Amino acid sequence: MKYRLFLLTFIVFSLSSCYYRSATPRDSFAKGADVSWLSEMEHDSIAFYDTNGTEDDCLDIMQRMGMNAVRLRVWVNHSTGWSNKSDVVQMAQRAAKKGLRIMIDFHYSDFFADPNHQTIPVAWQSYDYELLREAVFEHTLDVLNTLKEARVKPEWVQIGNETPNGMLWPVGQVSKNADDAHWSAYAGFTQAGYKAAKEVFSDIKVIVHVDNAFEYRDWFFDALLAHGAQFDMIGLSHYPMMYEWSHLPWQEMNTRAEANIRQLISTYRKPVVIAEIGMQNWGQGAMYDSVSACANEVMVDFINRVTPIDSCVGIFYWEPQCYNEWKPAEYVPLGWGAYNMGSFTPEGKPSPALVSLFATKKE
């Protein structure tokens, strides 16, 4: 009887510990894509084609090109249901079954969180600091435990999305000149997410993510660390063709980003991942051909700059599968235009820039 109980316990433990296996080593260079819109695009019957024009599963197309990782955002309770827990778990399980590595990107909001928007979820809006910190911990724990139950083991997790100004405003809003109370709140939220992630997956890599890879922000990381936050990696966003944002030509943005990556690694002794990258890839006919060729030039230049950096561990293209002015349903009432930095052609095939990214070789 004791033997049977031992055997049953062993079998249950073995099954619970059996995750879908990654097809590439954990320490290899990540050639990834944030595909958080993919399930909604498929719901809208958007089709995808390989470079030969054959219709296929979007993930299969990109994986055959060399993609080895996906990034998925998590909203707390978005009204449409897309990018909420159930959608993220389904997408993560689908990717994991294909042997793809997984990055989970917590926004701690009901919609996009970024340097201009870090809105407290509706369900949390009456909370004070202590309750918000507990909510961050419990939400992170819940999503990651649900992934674990689905046999998905993420390799990376972001605690917040593009947070140079903190998160969960106004409680955790920070700036270069913010007071200790706000820095302590933001660091407390970051630490709550860190502790929850490590409780579920002890070896997961926790990322703090900021925008503008070309901008060196030692003040941000110095203050965050000084107020007690822990993290394992630095994530950066890089959109080098967006001149109106930076007033810098793409060549200068790439040059500065390379220097910044090297300086961050040297100063903080932490790996850096390009958690988001996007290139202008818009138009039809000759206009598309011209823009697409430039996007590929920008991508190749950036790849050649960062792949020699030992502790630059990967690049994730943000929503490359977008094409032909598709946009999510909630953009219509908001009056927003379609995302124009996807990396599929007007015919629904991978663009040259995406081919270059996924063909990247790093020794």
Structural domains of the chain, with CATH? 33-358 (3.20.20.80)
Helix/strand/coil for 89: helix
Instruction: Give dist(CA 254, CA 274) in Å, integer.
Output: 12
| Rounded alpha-carbon distances, angstroms, from residue 120 to 90, 137, 141, 312 | 25, 15, 18, 32
What pLDDT digit, counting tens, does each position of 17-39 carry?
A: 589 988 888 779 999 999 999 99
Q: What does the alpha-carbon distance between residue 14 and residue 16 come to, in Å, rounded to a whole number?
A: 6
Digit-coded pLDDT (tens) for 72-104: 999 999 999 999 999 999 999 999 999 999 999
Q: What is the DSSP letter of 122?
A: G
| Token pair belonging to 133 | 């910190």
For residue 100, the SS3 value is: coil
Provide the pLDDT for residue 267: 97
The most confident of the ranges 207-211, 244-248, 341-345 is 207-211
- The answer, yes or no, to whether residue 168 has pLDDT greater than 50, is yes
- Return phi, psi of residue 267, to 5°: -75, -45
Residues 158, 283: Cα–Cα separation, whole Å: 33
Q: How many CA atoms lie within 13 A of 49 on its CB side?
A: 11
Tell me what pLDDT residue 7 has. 46
Element (H, E) at 272: strand 272-277
8 Å CB contact between 84 and 78: yes
Residue 20 near residue 151 (C-beta atoms within 8 A): yes
